[in-house]
């Protein structure tokens, strides 16, 4: 064989090196996956978590089941096993993961032990052994699985696996916003989302006291001095920012606590305002003058009078063993639990003390431990229901902020809806939120500020739902609601149980007809994608279908899903595209005439 020239060898070598150094061309899907990973990792880092390296893509067999992990994060004794997906339809993915997730959550300690002993996960062993097992036993570790989806996972899909936490995109966006501003302090709310008790995190798990609390000196203000309803107690006391922030929560708009966002009347934290306040704390090293208004559950607090006697508060909020009607000094014992103090007014002043990494942190870390924040705490009676509590808080918030430019219009509208829960607008907003959770219209409505591509709801509420759910007329769902006590909704009696029953009935009746529409319209058409020329879903078509239901009720032709399916079996041929934005009434009439009209039954 002829000897190859050195030039040829070098040329091939150079070619090989050039080929090796050329960056791989990523597909759009790979770019989206990489972005999701970067976003989550950045969030977890902001909250103070560390990441185990070289975990993703390593396949393993655990208890006879083959699987892999995408990421592992840890903080103190908390381990978060993370699964990523960018798929719009996750049902098949969840089904495939169900068995391994069940095995992990049924016995998380055995799974952690498996990873520690597996040769592929030596980085995990090194990190966990050095940073966790040096301080905590295996049984003290808190292990959670989070399913991170780029899209909101419908409730019916979440039902497939109920022992993991679903980190839907709206929830991620909320925590991303919060953690970018208050950094590591966001971890307290994240632990609440993970449903990890404060007593089981970090050094707290080594505490021998199960009902540990902290004492704060303050005063009790009876109803006679507050002009609040009977049973509403006011307490005032000083607290350090560190003790407040680990116990605090805020019902922020676009938050995670309730997917419908009902009652979330607080604005998001303002980064510019927070920076300004931290600069003030750093330079002036003194407290803000105004008091912070909060709520505290009576079950999480004890009141001790000047003689050391615990004051017994009954279900109605009345103190049984004291007849004092004047302001009296008291020792206020608050449990060491996270997310029990709800901040109504003063969230920026409170959270300006957050645990961060900026130039002011060295100064503020010292200020966090000084008891110089004046708190006015509202104690509700035990028997006060959640709706009335939220209504009271929202009204108080609106009164405080009515003359300030800070509260945006959409938040004030949210508050107005909360203050009048029996109004048709409030009921309509609830219906939209429930339809958006899953089913034929799941995730199609604009619910968050970043969802500009989704269907806006204001016109649907005004021109579709309001006429359909009104409490009078022969074309309203109210007409077909067979509740003998339904007339009470028209009175001033606030029967929240009755209201909830009517709201649920409305959701069910509306969802039934939309199920039939979706089942008989092609998948290509049943879409909100504006780049899809065949997509039909928009404000006009949804209002048209709602108006069709109103005509069905008026003409006593409404039915169940089976009935609607039978009548709408040819609906895919209907020309939805010919109707302009304001022609939903005509569309509703045409749908009724074409598919439901029967002269023999009219």
Q: Give dist(CA 350, CA 290) in Å, integer.
A: 11
Q: What are phi and psi of 537, to 5 degrees?
A: -75, 120
Which distant-in-sequence residues (6+ apart) come within 8 Å of 118 by Cβ? Answer: 60
Instruction: Tell me if 338 sits within 8 A of 247, measured CB to CB.
Output: yes
Q: Give dist(CA 104, CA 110) in Å, integer.
A: 8
Neighbours of 550 (CB within 10 A): 24
Q: What angle do CA 266, 272, 274 make, to 5 degrees?
A: 65
Residue-wise DSSP of 303-333: EE-TTSPBPPB-TTS-BTT----S-EEEEEE
DSSP 367: H
Q: Could you list the beta-strand ranges (E) of 152-232.
A: 165-167, 213-221
Among 450, 386, 382, 458, smallest CA distance to 421 is for 386
Place of tokens 């020239």: 5
The burial of 78, by beta-carbon neighbours within 10 Å (0-12 exposed, 13-18 middle, 19 or more buried), is given as buried
Which distant-in-sequence residues (6+ apart) come within 8 Å of 155 by Cβ? Answer: 437, 438
Output the pLDDT for position 153: 82
Strands 328-335 and 301-304: antiparallel
Q: Give dist(CA 264, CA 267) in Å, integer.
A: 8
Write down the mean pLDDT value for the chain: 87
Q: Give dist(CA 357, CA 359) in Å, integer.
A: 7
The burial of 454, by beta-carbon neighbours within 10 Å (0-12 exposed, 13-18 middle, 19 or more buried), is given as middle
Q: Give dist(CA 483, CA 494) in Å, integer.
A: 16
Which parts of the chain sit beneath pLDDT 50?
1-18, 210, 261-262
Among 571, 581, 467, smallest CA distance to 514 is for 571
Output the pLDDT for position 469: 97
Would you state the CATH architecture of domain 29-200?
3-Layer(aba) Sandwich (3.40)
pLDDT digits (tens, 9 = 90+) for 11-47: 444 444 445 556 678 898 899 999 999 999 999 999 9
Instruction: Tell me if 254 sits within 8 A of 170, measured CB to CB.
Output: yes
For residue 559, give the 3-state DSSP assignment: coil
Q: What are phi and psi of 353, to 5 degrees?
A: -90, 10
Instruction: Tell me if 187 sits within 8 A of 48, measured CB to CB.
Output: yes
Q: Which two tokens stand for residue 232?
A: 């509403």
DSSP 23: P
The burial of 578, by beta-carbon neighbours within 10 Å (0-12 exposed, 13-18 middle, 19 or more buried), is given as exposed
For residue 7, give the 3-state DSSP assignment: helix
Range(s) of the chain covered by CATH 3.40.1350: 29-200
pLDDT digits (tens, 9 = 90+) for 463-507: 999 999 999 999 999 999 999 999 999 998 889 899 999 999 999
Which distant-in-sequence residues (6+ apart) come within 8 Å of 455 by Cβ? Answer: 444, 445, 446, 528, 537, 538, 539, 542
Neighbours of 35 (CB within 10 A): 12
CA dihedral 587, 589, 594, 596 (to 10 degrees): 130
DSSP 217: E
**In b/e form, how buried is each residue of 354-376, taking b as 16+ CB within 10 angstroms?**
bbbeeebbeebeebbeebebbbb
Neighbours of 104 (CB within 10 A): 25
Instruction: Tell me if 471 sits within 8 A of 293, measured CB to CB.
Output: no
Output the pLDDT for position 227: 65
pTM for the complete prediction? 0.73
């Amino acid at each position: 064989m002829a000897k190859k020239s050195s030039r040829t060898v070098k040329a091939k070598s150079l070619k090989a090196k050039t080929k090796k150094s050329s960056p791989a061309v990523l597909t759009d899907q790979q770019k989206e996956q990489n972005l999701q990973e970067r976003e989550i990792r950045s969030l977890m880092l902001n909250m103070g978590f560390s990441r185990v390296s070289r975990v993703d893509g390593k396949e393993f067999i655990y208890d006879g089941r083959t699987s892999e992990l995408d990421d592992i994060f840890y903080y103190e004794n908390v381990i978060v096993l993370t699964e990523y997906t960018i798929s719009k339809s996750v049902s098949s993915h969840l089904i495939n993961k169900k068995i391994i997730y069940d095995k992990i959550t049924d016995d998380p300690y055995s799974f952690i032990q498996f990873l520690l002993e597996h040769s592929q996960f030596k980085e995990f062993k090194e990190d966990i052994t050095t940073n966790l097992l040096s301080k905590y036993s295996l049984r003290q570790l808190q292990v959670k699985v989070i399913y991170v989806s780029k899209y909101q996972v419908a409730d019916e899909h979440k039902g497939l696996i109920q022992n993991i936490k679903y980190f839907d995109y709206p929830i991620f966006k909320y925590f991303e916003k919060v953690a970018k501003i208050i950094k590591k302090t966001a971890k307290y709310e994240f632990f609440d989302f993970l449903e990890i008790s404060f007593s089981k995190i970090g050094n707290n798990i080594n505490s021998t006291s199960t009902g540990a609390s902290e004492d704060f000196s303050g005063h009790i203000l009876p109803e006679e001095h507050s002009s609040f309803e009977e049973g509403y107690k006011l307490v005032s006391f000083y607290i350090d920012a560190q003790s407040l922030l680990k116990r605090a929560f805020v019902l922020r708009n676009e938050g995670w606590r309730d997917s419908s966002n009902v009652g979330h009347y607080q604005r998001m934290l303002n980064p510019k305002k927070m920076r300004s306040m931290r600069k003030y704390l750093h330079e002036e090293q003194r407290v803000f003058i105004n008091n912070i208004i909060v709520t505290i559950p009576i079950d999480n607090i004890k009141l001790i009078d000047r003689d050391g006697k615990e004051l017994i508060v009954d279900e109605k909020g009345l103190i049984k063993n004291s007849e004092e009607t004047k302001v009296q000094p008291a020792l206020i014992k608050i449990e060491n639990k996270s997310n029990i103090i709800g901040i109504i007014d003063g969230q920026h002043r409170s959270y300006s003390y957050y645990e961060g990494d900026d130039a002011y942190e060295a100064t503020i870390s010292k200020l966090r431990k000084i008891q110089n924040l004046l708190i006015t705490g509202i104690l509700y009676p035990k028997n006060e229901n959640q709706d009335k509590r939220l209504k009271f808080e929202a009204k108080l918030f609106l009164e405080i902020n009515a003359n300030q430019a800070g509260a945006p219009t959409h938040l004030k509208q949210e508050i107005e809806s909360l203050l009048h829960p029996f109004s048709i607008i409030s009921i309509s907003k609830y219906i939209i939120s429930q339809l958006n959770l899953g089913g034929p219209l799941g995730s199609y409505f604009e619910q968050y500020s970043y969802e500009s591509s989704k269907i806006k709801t204001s016109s649907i509420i005004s021109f579709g739902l309001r006429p359909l759910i009104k409490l009078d007329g022969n074309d309203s769902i109210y007409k077909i609601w067979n509740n003998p006590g339904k007339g009470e909704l028209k009175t001033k009696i606030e029967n929240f149980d009755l209201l909830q029953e009517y709201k649920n009935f409305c959701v069910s009746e509306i969802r039934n007809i939309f199920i039939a529409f979706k089942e008989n319209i092609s998948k290509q058409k049943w879409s909100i994608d504006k780049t899809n020329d065949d997509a039909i879903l928009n404000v006009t078509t949804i209002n048209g279908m709602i108006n069709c239901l109103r005509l069905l009720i008026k003409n006593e032709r409404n039915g169940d899903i089976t009935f609607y399916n039978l009548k709408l079996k040819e609906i895919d041929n209907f020309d939805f595209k010919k109707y302009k934005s304001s022609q939903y009434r005509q569309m509703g009439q045409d749908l009724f005439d074409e598919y439901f009209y029967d002269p023999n039954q009219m």
